[in-house]
Structures are given as structure tokens and as C-alpha cells.
């Protein structure tokens, strides 16, 4: 299996598992009206799902340069980590 294919499969798996965990956190938010679970859900989506979308869907659709895609992914990670950090404040 070529490295490019393996990378795409691993990225997709990360996005799917991240989305699953984010949905569980969101369900926890809805069930318990917990801002902590909402922030956790947002953080997980920003760290695991958004980078995949940028790299494989948005980037090619709008013809992002590698540096632009990297910047967008880094900003997504930063927002995700800030949201998860917020969960420690509650």
C-alpha cells in the first residue's frame, strides 16, 4: 500500500473516531446541560475532524496552498486545545 494511501486512510480513521467521541460528548452535553461536555465536543471536532476536512475537502475545493492549509489546520488545533482547556475551568 502506498504511503499516500495509508496516510489518507489513517486520517479518515482519525476523523471518524474523533467525530464519534465528539458526538458522545455532545450527547452528554444535551443530557446533562453541561457546558464542559459542549466545550469538550467542540475541542475534539476542532482537533480531529476539521483538519481532515481542510486537508481533503476544503483545500482541494478552493485550491489552498500547502502553507495556507497548514495555517488553517494549526488554527483549528489551537481553537480545539483552547476549548478543551476551557473544560478544566468548570
- The string of pLDDT tens digits covering residues 12-32 is 999 999 999 999 999 999 999
Percent with pLDDT over 90 in the chain: 97
Are the CB atoms for 36 and 89 separated by under 8 Å? no
For residue 89, the 8-state DSSP code is T
Which residue segment(s) compose the domain that 42 sits in?
3-87
Judge whether residue 90 has pLDDT over 90. Answer: no
Residue 89: what pLDDT? Answer: 81
Structural domain total, the chain: 1
Is 12 in a helix, a strand, or coil? helix
Rounded Cα–Cα distance for residues 44 and 84 (Å): 8
Length of the chain: 90
Amino acid at each position: 500500500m502506498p504511503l499516500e494511501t495509508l496516510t489518507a486512510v489513517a486520517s479518515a480513521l482519525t476523523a471518524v473516531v474523533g467525530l464519534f467521541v465528539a458526538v458522545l460528548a455532545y450527547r452528554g452535553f444535551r443530557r446533562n446541560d453541561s457546558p464542559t461536555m459542549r466545550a469538550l465536543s467542540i475541542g475534539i471536532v476542532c482537533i480531529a475532524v476539521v483538519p481532515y476536512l481542510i486537508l481533503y475537502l476544503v483545500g482541494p475545493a478552493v485550491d489552498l496552498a500547502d502553507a495556507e492549509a497548514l495555517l488553517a489546520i494549526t488554527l483549528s488545533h489551537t481553537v480545539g486545545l483552547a476549548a478543551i482547556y476551557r473544560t478544566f475551568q468548570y
